[in-house]
């Protein structure tokens, strides 16, 4: 406990910034007790956990959605109407995610999982598609909304990992947000296509778009973790998108201890046992130390 108290004291005072108010400090000590006793821990993350890695969140001041209505680019209809435009947007995000690095928040989660590999089941359930949890070393991960570095063939359904940069020559240096997103002049034949013999179908990003169902296997894994865990950490999400936003409140109803880590309260905050304010790159290393 002494180590924790000194850690909290140092961290919250040394940098002249109080990531945790004194009330939070006592709550943090109580939360860490629950975490210590927990057999199952689920960590639900959203775009906020990657903000300190330089990846814009969706609904923040520089967010993607604020520049373009979500349905413009992250929907099956947008892909049907203008696959080149949607590929420009996802190429831009692939390159952003590739250049980004996992931050102390991602790393604290990966180290916590590794440290307790023999005594706890730790499951990371992420809404993010940037693969930063995996790059930080997280093993047991559920990617609810897909992954920027995977493609799916619109003809044969093959799902493949693709880390090519750019994914095809026609997309080189395309898709930056300040470019005119009114339409793309890239011919469809120059977009990524399936390499399976006698297929050649147009590839799409392996991403769950608005109005699309999540993969059944993904839902089953998330459900299994959220219905059996003792403690849930909800990190960096506005809790606006379903079904992801339903998991933690349901766990809380079942009696799990739920702690929210965010820089601002969300509509779900009242459902949870704890709310720790501050950038997750600062607060998670304290919670998971």
Q: Does 208 bind ligand BV8 (CB under 6 A)?
A: yes
- Binding-residue total with ligand BV8 (CB under 6 A): 36
Asked whether 214 and 208 are in contact (CB, 8 A), the reply is yes
Angstrom distances, CA of residue 237 to CA of 43, 133, 144, 147, 163: 11, 15, 13, 17, 26
Nearest-5° angle of CA 212, CA 51, CA 271? 65
Residue nearest to ligand BV8 (CB): 48
* Residue 153 binds: one of ligand BV8, Zn ion, none (C-beta under 5 to 8 A by kind): Zn ion
Asked if residue 147 binds ligand BV8 (CB under 6 A), the reply is no
| Least separation in angstroms between CB 189 and ligand BV8 | 24
Residue 11 makes contact with ligand BV8 by CB under 6 A:
no
Among 11, 123, 151, 266, binds ligand BV8 (CB under 6 A): 266
Residue 259, strand partner residues: 233, 274
Q: Look at strands 121-126 and 40-45 and give their pairing.
A: parallel
- Alpha-helical segments (H) within the chain: 2-14, 22-37, 48-51, 64-67, 70-73, 76-81, 83-99, 104-115, 132-136, 216-228, 244-253, 280-287
Q: Site for Zn ion (CB under 5 A): which residue of 196, 214, 218, 289? A: 196
* 241 is a contact residue toward ligand BV8 (CB under 6 A): yes
Segment holding 277, helix H or strand E: strand 274-277
Stretch that binds ligand BV8, among 44-52, 159-167, 192-200, 226-234 (CB under 6 A): 44-52
284 contributes a contact to ligand BV8 by CB under 6 A: no
- DSSP for residue 270: G
Q: How far apart are CA 235 and CA 124, in angstroms?
A: 11
Task: Answer yes or no whether residue 212 interacts with ligand BV8 by CB under 6 A.
Answer: yes
Judged by the rule CB under 5 A, the positions of this chain that interact with Zn ion are 153, 155-156, 158, 194, 196, 199, 201
Judged by the rule CB under 6 A, the positions of this chain that interact with ligand BV8 are 46-48, 51-52, 57-60, 63, 74, 127-129, 145, 207-213, 236-238, 240-243, 261-264, 266, 279-280
């Amino acid at each position: 406990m002494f180590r924790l108290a000194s850690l909290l004291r140092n961290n919250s005072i040394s940098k002249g910034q109080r990531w945790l108010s004194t009330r939070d400090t006592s709550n943090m000590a109580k939360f860490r007790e629950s975490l210590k006793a927990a057999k199952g821990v689920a960590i639900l993350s959203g775009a906020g956990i990657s903000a300190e890695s330089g990846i814009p969140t969706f609904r923040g001041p520089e967010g993607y959605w604020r520049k373009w209505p979500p349905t413009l680019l992250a929907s099956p209809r947008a892909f049907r109407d203008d696959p080149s435009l949607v590929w420009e947007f996802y190429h831009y995000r692939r390159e952003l995610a590739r250049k980004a690095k996992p931050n102390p928040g991602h790393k604290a989660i990966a180290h916590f999982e590794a440290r307790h590999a023999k005594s706890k089941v730790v499951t990371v359930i992420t809404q993010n598609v940037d693969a930063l949890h995996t790059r930080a070393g997280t093993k047991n991960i559920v990617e609810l909304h897909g992954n920027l570095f995977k493609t799916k063939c619109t003809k044969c359904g093959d799902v493949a990992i693709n880390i090519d940069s750019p994914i095809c020559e026609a997309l080189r240096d395309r898709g930056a947000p300040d470019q005119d997103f009114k339409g793309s002049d890239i011919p469809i034949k120059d977009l990524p296509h399936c390499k399976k013999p006698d297929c050649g179908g147009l590839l799409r990003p392996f991403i769950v778009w608005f109005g699309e169902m999540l993969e059944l296997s993904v839902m089953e894994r998330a459900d299994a973790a959220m219905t059996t865990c003792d403690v849930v950490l909800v990190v960096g999400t506005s809790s606006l998108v379903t079904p992801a936003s339903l998991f933690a409140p349901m766990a809380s109803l079942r009696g799990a201890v739920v702690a929210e880590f965010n820089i601002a309260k969300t509509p779900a905050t009242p459902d949870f046992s704890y709310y720790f304010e501050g950038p997750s790159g600062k607060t998670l290393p304290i919670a998971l130390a």
